[in-house]
Chain A
Amino acid sequence: DAGITQSPRHKVTETGTPVTLRCHQTENHRYMYWYRQDPGHGLRLIHYSYGVKDTDKGEVSDGYSVSRSKTEDFLLTLESATSSQTSVYFCAISESTGNSPLHFGNGTRLTVT
């Protein structure tokens, strides 16, 4: 299994509060991604990173920011959580942009009340 750890695994927070989710990898892969999974939508890309301090927006980036100060860590921040951000969040890593699949962590279930 790819060495990907997401923390926390579960979180309940109130609307309007800031939340940060962490993804830590031990594979030294250059590319990291944040996806959210919602019923009827599959997995949708929020943000991704192609190197330290290099990030870009995905399909559903509004309301989210990311940071990557070290190769192994990719943080997802909800500046002011809303109920629409209740979801399961998955971090993924990829070795390259060649024909290299994504490998996922076990997810963080976030509930915004």
Chain B
Amino acid sequence: DQQVKQNSPSLSVQEGRISILNCDYTNSMFDYFLWYKKYPAEGPTFLISISSIKDKNEDGRFTVFLNKSAKHLSLHIVPSQPGDSAVYFCAARVPNTGNQFYFGTGTSLTVIP
């Protein structure tokens, strides 16, 4: 059973606008969350993280929001650029498991110039 879900397989956004990628999870014990970006034929690249004790973390154009009561995570990219076109994965960790993460199925983002 998928503990981390990305319900939108794809998303298209105009260059310069905001991209919002969503992730839902079922396990309230998850304590650390990650977002990755993946280009074809490459490995996932770490983007940004958030601990369960926070509700927001920013790094440049990327902001991650965590809503623990809703078990919902989102990644905002502002402004979106064509180079952001990739597949984005969210991941969540159960504590005390050797840093094991559960991943979502990914959302393919296309930024239209």
Contact = CB atoms under 8 A, between A and B. Distances in A.
Interface of A: 4, 31, 33, 35, 40-45, 48, 50, 56, 58-59, 90, 94, 96-97, 99-107
B69 interface: no
A107 B6 CA distance: 22
Interface of B: 2, 4, 6, 32, 34, 36, 41-46, 49, 51, 89, 91, 96, 98-106
A42 B43 contact: no
Given A42-B4, A56-B98, A90-B44, A102 B106 contact: no
B100 to A, nearest CB: 6
Given A42-B4, A43-B44, A43-B89, A102 B101 contact: yes
Contacts, number: 61
Given A104-B43, A106-B43, A42 B103 contact: yes
A106 B42 contact: yes
Contacts of B91: 43, 102
A31 to B, nearest CB: 6
B99 A100 contact: yes
A102 B103 CA distance: 12
A44 B91 CA distance: 11
B99 A104 contact: no
A50 B97 CA distance: 10
Contact of A99 (B32, B45, B98): B32
A99 B92 CA distance: 11
